[in-house]
Amino acid sequence: MAQDTMKAILVSEYGGPDVLKLEDAPRPVPGEGEALVRIHYATAIPLDFKIYNGWLRDVFPKTLPYVPGFYASGVVEAVGPGAAGVSPGDRVFGPVNGGYAEYAVAAADRLIRIPESLGFPEAAAILGGADSAWKALFSEGELQAGQTVLIHAAAGGVGQFAVQLAKWRGATVIGTASGANVEFVRSLDSTGGSAGRPLTPDTVFMRAGPSNRPFIYSSRSRPPLRRKSPPLPDLRYPALRYPPLPRPSPHRAAFSRGASAPVPRGAREGLAAIPS
């Protein structure tokens, strides 16, 4: 294969997995402030297939053909003019432009060096869920040791990171999952689960101690639920109730604050095709 070409997954039309084709493609050249990364592992996330299916073409417009993949890990091959923070040979991970390929370009200042304790697979997975979990628990939730956190969809790509990060911080973790995933969630060292005590959408049962400020985090695809409450009395299972989401009118989307907004016409068919 010539030096100026590479192997890449190309999407030339919208559709199912069959539209992913391994083909020759031009090898990208890093521009101003960019780095060329030789990809070791590409991160596959649900957003990828929602885009190449065409469900989100109005939100994430693509010029066909295109190479999918938002995140990846690999080694810096070359840097463009003015690129700072990384050098050729550095092991890195971060957002890239088309990670389903042998090479991809990225903004050099957004790449992160991989610690020696991590391999390329683990590094590629970080932006697939761990960063979202960190932001929700610590940047937004300000979770502290000794608090209790309930994590919905604890077996999901974000939830499984959230369980482990919350335990690392010293919090008591209660996770919910479907019956098939309860044992996996328990293996992450969380407490409880949906198998023994079903949780309804408008009732959350939590364990709380004196002066404990519960924090609720949902990693479901619906708008995240986040609520801090005043200190609860020392009850074993206090119940926190919140109103259910309003039912949106046709072609409108409901949000947790009770408002609604129009759904772009081009996205309606895609939304209807997404399993609820």
pLDDT value of residue 192: 46
pLDDT value of residue 186: 83
pLDDT value of residue 215: 52
Q: How far is CA 17 from the centre of its chain?
A: 20
Distance (Å, whole) CA 180 – CA 251: 34
pLDDT value of residue 190: 55
Angle, CA 239 vertex, CA 236 and CA 245 arms, to 5°: 155
* Domain 129-247 coded CATH 3.30.70: no
The torsion angles phi and psi of 179, rounded to 5 degrees, stand at -55, -35
pLDDT value of residue 131: 86
Name the fold adopted by 5-114: Quinone Oxidoreductase; Chain A, domain 1 (3.90.180)
Model pTM? Answer: 0.66
The pairing of strands 172-175 and 148-152 is: parallel
pLDDT value of residue 169: 92
- Per-residue tens of pLDDT for the chain, all 276 residues: 457 999 999 999 999 999 999 999 999 999 999 999 999 999 999 899 999 999 999 999 999 999 999 999 999 999 999 999 999 999 999 999 999 999 999 999 999 999 999 999 999 988 888 888 999 999 888 899 999 888 888 888 899 999 999 999 999 888 888 888 888 888 887 554 443 344 433 333 333 333 344 455 554 444 433 444 333 333 222 333 334 444 444 444 434 333 334 444 444 343 344 333
Amino acid (1-letter code) at residue 243: P
Specify the domain boundaries for CATH 3.40.50 within the chain: 129-247
Strands (DSSP E) contained in 166-276 are: 172-175, 203-205, 215-218, 226-228, 239-241, 252-254, 260-262
pLDDT value of residue 181: 85
Q: For the chain, how many residues are written?
A: 276
pLDDT value of residue 66: 97
pLDDT value of residue 191: 54
Specify the domain boundaries for CATH 3.90.180.10 within the chain: 5-114
